[in-house]
A and B are shown apart, each in its own frame.
Chain A
Amino acid sequence: MNCNEIKDMLSLYIDGELDENEKKTVEEHVGICESCRNELEQYQKIINVLQNLIEEEPPKGYCKRLHEKLLKAKQQKKISARSKWVKYGSIAAAFVLVVSVIYVSSNLRMGSSVKNENSVAYDRDMQATESPAAPSEGAEMYGLGTNDSKIEEQESASGGNNTLMKASLSIEEERKIKIIKSGKITTQTEGYDLFINNLISKVEGLGGYIEQNNTDVNNWYGDRDKKIKSGYLKLRVPDEYFEELVIYLETESDVYQKNVTSTDMTKEYYEKDNRVKNLELQETHLRELFANAKTVEETLLIENELRRVRTEIDALNINLSDIDDRASMSTISLEVQEVLKANLSMSDRDNVWERAKEGFVNTINGIVDVTENIIISLISVTPILVPALIILVIVWIKLRKNKTKS
């Protein structure tokens, strides 16, 4: 080892921080090297002086001033401890509040669907009564517009078809246009029963019938005494009176949704018709074969084939008659919603005190409900809340540790 390396080790040697081997090396070297020995002595001298350095004492009153500052700090500490409690307490409270609100609201949404249904109906009514003209008119215009153009299109198309068919298939019986008209109408009325009764007689007068009539009776929103009705009806009227019935519905009630479609089934109908005719030809041929059949095997084979053809004919015929039926009798799906008359006259109102009392009781009930829900949801979220709190505490402790380290 050279002198420089030894000199680097002198500091550690003085403090006794070298291991045995290194210590021996340094001692041996210092024994023979004067320069390094001198250096070591110098270090020891300096350190000796440093260790015995007389240091300036703190000025008078240092301890007293420190004491006063400490007392002041104690006050602040108390306040900060309190504010810490307030801080963490409020954070915890906010957390609990958020969790419970989320829980309560989701519980309400799931638990009391009846209420919500009512409120939906109410909302709809509100919409309709608040702006009865604009949306329904818009819907009507939209519906009518598309509808009219569709019908016109159909007519022109079918007209074209007609001439074509007349030209090409004049030998055969004249083809009938098969157009299926159907409508979906949602409407509101103030007098449900009267409206339905009138409607039924109207439909019957037109030569149609009511295929389906469902009526529901619900409680009016928040009021057990008032009942409102809503219904779903399927009306069937002869093809030619379809438009008349739609217009009737529009005049007699407040239609706010209308969707009318016309589907041309002519092509499909006659394709099926032709297939039926072909199959019938096949059937007569098979019957001839059947009459001439000699072996049992032949008989069985032909019989099987006959059965297959017959089933197909039957299926097609059902299809055809269905198209016939739907084309001759149009369908209207009607949804009727009863609305209460706007009742805003002052005389009808309960007296102020009564209503205030009612409101007060309702609020109290609401508070009780919410508190119950909070307690229930708090208990039910403990599986989430407890681990979450544990994690929070751990994070907090870690943060505190880091703070002290820094």
Chain B
Amino acid sequence: MKDNELWLIEQSRKGNVEAFEELIKEHKKSAYKIALRVLRNVEDAEDISQEALIKVFKNIQNFNMQSTFKVWMYRIVVNACLDFKRKKTIDAYSLDETIKFDGNNEVKKEIEDNTNNPDVMIEKNFDSKMVSDAVNKLDDDFKTIIILRDIKGFSYQEISQILSCNLGTVKSRLSRARKNLKQIIEEEIKIQY
């Protein structure tokens, strides 16, 4: 498997498109899904994920084998998505964004009151849609780390390489992200019931 990957990388370096497609076969859909989670728009997700994969192809000479190919590839994909989103927010501060921001603030305020009432979630079941929506409401940093860890199942080590930060940051950020996510879900449940 590993040898095969090395061979495919070599071929891709020589400009063999088929070899490169074989190399990213397992990852290209995953790249799209990450992009969709972060960008929440089908067209943007396709554009940016494909752009990122082409960047991977073009720059495969620069891949220095210090990390696994998978990690290197996802780093480019994640960075491309976050860059795009950052630019978009600067270009046009969308109405959606503001509402979400306000909502978050409210959520945060009410969280304090809710900490003593955690039973809410035990009794009520929550479906995947609610969780999915909650993920969408997270800040980009938290969203990214939840996607990578809980949805895509990357290890802490891999996440630290993808996000170019140290393990301690991954641990604390993931912890805060999960706490934040739980609070958003709690808020949703409270509103619904």
Q: Across the interface, do B132 and A53 meet the contact criterion of CB distance under 8 Å?
A: yes
Contacts of B119 in A (CB 8 A): 38
A66-B45 Cα distance, complex, nearest whole Å: 13
Per DSSP, chain A at the interface is helix
Q: Could you say which of B32, B132, B179 contacts A62, with CB atoms under 8 Å apart?
A: B32
Q: How many inter-chain contacts with C-beta < 8 Å in the A-B complex?
A: 115
| Contact of A8 with B by CB under 8 A | yes
| Contact of A12 with B by CB under 8 A | yes
| Contact of A35 with B by CB under 8 A | yes
Residue of B nearest to A81 (CB): B15
Instruction: Tally chain B residues at the interface, Cβ within 8 Å.
Output: 47
The answer to whether residues A74 and B182 also contact, given A15-B156, A42-B121, A66-B50 and a CB cut-off of 8 A, is no
| Segment at the B interface, from A43-51, A136-144, A328-336 | A43-51
Name the distance in Å between B158's Cβ and chain A's nearest Cβ.
13
Contacts of B137 in A (CB 8 A): none
Q: Across the interface, do B21 and A67 meet the contact criterion of CB distance under 8 Å?
A: yes
| Contact of B111 with A by CB under 8 A | no
Name the distance in Å between A105's Cβ and chain B's nearest Cβ.
40
Contacts of B94 in A (CB 8 A): none
Q: Across the interface, do B185 and A11 meet the contact criterion of CB distance under 8 Å?
A: no
| Contact of B85 with A by CB under 8 A | no
Contacts of B151 in A (CB 8 A): 50-51, 53, 55
Residue of A nearest to B54 (CB): A73
A206-B185 Cα distance, complex, nearest whole Å: 125
| Contact of B181 with A by CB under 8 A | yes
A261-B33 Cα distance, complex, nearest whole Å: 99
A8-B177 Cα distance, complex, nearest whole Å: 11
Contacts of A57 in B (CB 8 A): 29
Contacts of B156 in A (CB 8 A): 15, 17
Contacts of B146 in A (CB 8 A): 50
The answer to whether residues A42 and B118 also contact, given A12-B175, A59-B42, A63-B28 and a CB cut-off of 8 A, is yes
Q: Which residues from 16 to 33 on chain B have a C-beta closer than 8 Å to any C-beta of chain A?
A: 17, 20-21, 28-29, 32-33
A57-B181 Cα distance, complex, nearest whole Å: 24
| Contact of A227 with B by CB under 8 A | no
Q: Could you say which of B50, B54, B131, B174 contacts A50, with CB atoms under 8 Å apart?
A: B131
Contacts of A46 in B (CB 8 A): 131, 178, 181-182, 185
Q: From A45, A52, A54, name the one whose CB has the most chain B CB atoms within 10 angstroms.
A: A45
Contacts of A42 in B (CB 8 A): 118, 121-122, 182
Q: Across the interface, do A39 and B118 meet the contact criterion of CB distance under 8 Å?
A: yes
Contacts of A149 in B (CB 8 A): none
Contacts of A403 in B (CB 8 A): 62
The answer to whether residues A62 and B46 also contact, given A38-B119, A69-B54 and a CB cut-off of 8 A, is yes
| Contact of A243 with B by CB under 8 A | no
Q: Across the interface, do A53 and B131 meet the contact criterion of CB distance under 8 Å?
A: yes
Q: Could you say which of B37, B54, B175 contacts A8, with CB atoms under 8 Å apart?
A: B175
Q: From A50, A400, A401, name the one whose CB has the most chain B CB atoms within 10 angstroms.
A: A50
Q: Which residues from 12 to 26 on chain A have a C-beta closer than 8 Å to any C-beta of chain B?
A: 12, 15, 17
**8 closest A-B pairs by CB:** A11-B175, A404-B62, A50-B150, A58-B32, A49-B131, A70-B17, A55-B33, A73-B54
Using a CB–CB cutoff of 8 Å, the interface residues on chain A facing chain B are 7-8, 10-12, 15, 17, 35, 38-39, 41-43, 45-47, 49-59, 62-63, 65-67, 69-71, 73-74, 76-78, 400-401, 403-405
